[in-house]
Chains A and B, each alone.
Chain A
């Protein structure tokens, strides 16, 4: 037996999976204001080292903490100064440019309510929005969207996913559709309809899954022509052109869908690979390459959104941070607080939002991690409330259950 080579790359399958989802309505309140907001959530799986992304170069304990492994303002590949305390990784020129244009912001020393160090539980809490891991099979983004009051019926359903698996943050009561970029020939319409008919009588769940994918393929064919699978990576271990291309393609394609008048308004993408236990390479190696790819994705979203960029908010989150100190293998182990990145024309940017805990020995959480001083849910609730006009009570009870004490952060939107 031989199958036609599909040219699917591992990055398509492993590094990213995402979903954009749209329902037959736009949020009523936002629309009443004459706005048409877009929200894209990027989940970085594996725990992003926030201190290597946005370094507190002005903290007196910084150099002692990370030594030559830490970002600095001098030398080659110097970090880019954001304010008197913080500088961003030089692999992120797009983000830096947006920051200067007041369209990007950083929230630092932020963490979800999860305080253990398991990736899988941490991602579960991050994406489900529920404080107990494993307690929910739906995600906060889906529930937030589901809870909004529809403005009117807009015809058609549009959505896609990147990678075969929809991230938890996007799963839930609101229907999700997803799409995998590949050069596969779609099934003939006749076989498809016979199969759907068979499933209708025998296994409706399979029918639903296939139908959503099928509808998607039709849109994808028209919309995403010219998307080619990423080329091979150059150096094993260090993500190369393939990762950059994959991040940029999937994020850019997502943005193009969301830019459409009848396109989705809320979407999620997930990128894997941030678990930098050894040879982290903040300035020159693996993390630098990954952050560069992420920066490229942000640039691709800006381009893909076109005129809709001014109504766009992108938020980049991760399950937890990494140890403040470098470990025995020039990497970092699982930690606690980290950064969240915000970008988009709708963001009141140009600032680092942080109740900075410091990185002295005494300031570290459990003597090892950056101490969390901001609840990530406050940031997300602020975005959902002020950008999408989500109801505050729904945010406290349904979207992030039991979070009434965590007030939505104000002033995030321009």
Chain B
């Protein structure tokens, strides 16, 4: 394919990173692979340092306290209502105004708390602006931190890996209790392991409160456990199934319904402390009283019942299973290289995964060094989040408010931490092509606001270098205004594809 080494370098940098920051690509032409891999060698690769962000337990407790306060206010208001009906009417009126004000609910029904009747008390004091609920505040702070990491990254390979793994092990903010935990989940269970062992990431994920809540394991009871016998209740096999189907082995890899059921039994008792506990509420806990007693057979092995260690042993086995290696290898190649990645590449990645016992740095390295990663044509659509971050990075526009970004991702069908189902967002380019008209609308909005500050031709030269086509160059040169040029730049094939 491409013979010019600069073309190959630019292809690689866009494929594994975000669109470059204003300095452009030029500094990295010499050794793009080394530049990409250097991001993984940094001791804090992928991590976010921000003391204001809460741990999962802290977020759960803060959200619990917030709900309690709201409840107390509601009760107090109700008592007041009896005494003063006129005041109640005023409160209702104010509440109506507050929730119909688009600025008060910038995310529409992405913020269920805002719509609840108990959102009214603050409005009753005729405060024009109402703070979003605690879970939403936490969600937005986390979104901000994540955006900043992506905007500030040198090339963004580490961050792209974070996004990949976060989608592989997705949780959803649309489940009420999970909303304040999504950011903590990514920081605690994904980021520390992108250049570490898959087994460690897997264990961190499956013991994280967000995942246990999202896939219903927190209340799954061993039918013969102390709690199960007392309550006459039993299993929920959701998490066990998705671990096998989505997180590790992959669908149709030979496990049976019996494996799902026995694995579900193995992980009974993997739950959280009730959030009302002031010290450790919302934290992961192994509750032996919920755990199904006895040995279990999962796939090809028997596992003695030694409490939480039983589940750890199953996960450790799954983490290095050849089917897991194949599954992860093909997803990685599909995400970064091609909708239909070359089989040879997938095989090499899988082999590397097995040979290194799931060392993700080694596997990522194999991927970046692969000749297929140089040669594959740029046919992948940038996913909405990648595209938005790329637009901001290349134009050097730093948003002061994260909410418009969150809204844009909603509109483009990739709402942050809110996938439609546990298999995450699609990695198929065709699926994202459907949102092209929405991208154009957003490009126009963006251009209207910022077009005068940006020189689209200069940005295109710096960002795409040798990848910039003559046609795009001409279209930008001929644009009737800078605004139009910016819209065309963001919509150019170079910015849409990678």
User: Which residues of chain B from 439 to 498 have a CB within 8 Å of any chain A CB?
Assistant: 440-446, 449-450, 469, 471-472, 475, 478-480, 484, 487-488, 491-493, 496-497
Choose, from B189-197, B359-367, B415-423, the stretch at the interface.
Answer: B415-423
Q: Mark A236-253, 1 if CB is under 8 A from B, else 0.
A: 110010100000000000
Q: Is A360 an interface residue (CB 8 A)?
A: no
Whether the pair B241, A205 counts as a contact (CB closer than 8 A) is no
Q: Is B219 an interface residue (CB 8 A)?
A: yes
Q: Is B114 an interface residue (CB 8 A)?
A: yes
Whether the pair B446, A6 counts as a contact (CB closer than 8 A) is no
Whether the pair A203, B493 counts as a contact (CB closer than 8 A) is yes
A121 to B431, CA, bound (A): 17
Q: Is A375 an interface residue (CB 8 A)?
A: no
- Report B95 CB to chain A, min CB distance, Å: 13
- Report B479 CB to chain A, min CB distance, Å: 7
Choose, from A54-62, A210-218, A377-385, the stretch at the interface.
Answer: A210-218
- Report B18 CB to chain A, min CB distance, Å: 16
| B residues less than 8 Å from A185 (CB atoms) | 441, 444-445
| B residues less than 8 Å from A213 (CB atoms) | 434, 436-437
Q: Is B74 an interface residue (CB 8 A)?
A: no
Whether the pair B109, A14 counts as a contact (CB closer than 8 A) is no
Q: Is B106 an interface residue (CB 8 A)?
A: yes
- Report A248 CB to chain B, min CB distance, Å: 15
Whether the pair B235, A327 counts as a contact (CB closer than 8 A) is yes
Whether the pair B236, A327 counts as a contact (CB closer than 8 A) is yes
Q: Is A186 an interface residue (CB 8 A)?
A: yes
Whether the pair A199, B251 counts as a contact (CB closer than 8 A) is no
Number of A-B residue pairs having CB atoms within 8 Å of each other in the complex: 230
Chain A residue nearest to B420 (CB atoms) is: A14
> Chain B interface: which size bin?
35 or more
Q: Is A312 an interface residue (CB 8 A)?
A: no
Q: Is A116 an interface residue (CB 8 A)?
A: yes
| B residues less than 8 Å from A272 (CB atoms) | 420-421
The residue in B116, B401, B411 that gathers the most chain A C-beta atoms within 10 A of its C-beta is: B411
The secondary-structure label for the interface of chain B is: helix
- Report A137 CB to chain B, min CB distance, Å: 8
Chain A residue nearest to B423 (CB atoms) is: A120
Q: Mark A325-354, 1 if CB is under 8 A from B, else 0.
A: 001110101100000000000000000000
Whether the pair B115, A233 counts as a contact (CB closer than 8 A) is yes
A117 to B415, CA, bound (A): 27
The secondary-structure label for the interface of chain A is: loop
Q: Is A310 an interface residue (CB 8 A)?
A: no
- Among candidates B109, B114, B219, residue contacting A230 with C-beta atoms closer than 8 Å: B109
- Among candidates A14, A180, A232, A333, residue contacting B112 with C-beta atoms closer than 8 Å: A232
Q: Is B226 an interface residue (CB 8 A)?
A: no
Whether the pair B175, A2 counts as a contact (CB closer than 8 A) is no
Q: Mark A200-227, 1 if CB is under 8 A from B, else 0.
A: 0111011001100110110000000000
Say yes or no: A328-B407 contact (C-beta < 8 A), given A164-B412, A164-B435, A184-B441: no
- Report A182 CB to chain B, min CB distance, Å: 7
Q: Is A195 an interface residue (CB 8 A)?
A: yes
Q: Mark A165-188, 1 if CB is under 8 A from B, else 0.
A: 110000100000010101011111
Whether the pair A3, B442 counts as a contact (CB closer than 8 A) is yes
A178 to B437, CA, bound (A): 10
Whether the pair B235, A121 counts as a contact (CB closer than 8 A) is no
Q: Mark A13-50, 1 if CB is under 8 A from B, else 0.
A: 11000000000000000000000000000000110000
Given contacts A3-B407, A164-B438, A209-B433, 20 further A-B contacts (CB under 8 A): A2-B401, A2-B404, A3-B404, A4-B445, A8-B407, A14-B418, A46-B421, A120-B251, A161-B434, A164-B412, A185-B445, A198-B492, A206-B436, A210-B436, A232-B109, A232-B111, A232-B115, A242-B109, A277-B236, A334-B241
* Chain A residues at the B interface, C-beta cutoff of 8 Å: 1-11, 13-14, 45-46, 116-121, 133, 137, 161, 163-166, 171, 178, 180, 182, 184-188, 190-192, 194-195, 197-199, 201-203, 205-206, 209-210, 213-214, 216-217, 229-237, 240, 242, 272, 275, 277-278, 327-329, 331, 333-334, 366, 368
Would you list 15 pairs from A and B whose C-beta atoms are within 8 A, ordered by A residue?
A: A2-B399, A3-B408, A5-B404, A13-B411, A118-B251, A164-B432, A180-B438, A210-B437, A214-B437, A234-B115, A278-B216, A328-B223, A328-B236, A334-B241, A368-B257
* Chain B residues at the A interface, C-beta cutoff of 8 Å: 99, 102-103, 105-106, 108-116, 174-176, 216, 219-221, 223, 228, 233-238, 241, 245, 251-252, 257, 260, 392, 397-401, 404-405, 407-408, 410-413, 415, 418, 420-421, 423, 426, 430-438, 440-446, 449-450, 469, 471-472, 475, 478-480, 484, 487-488, 491-493, 496-497
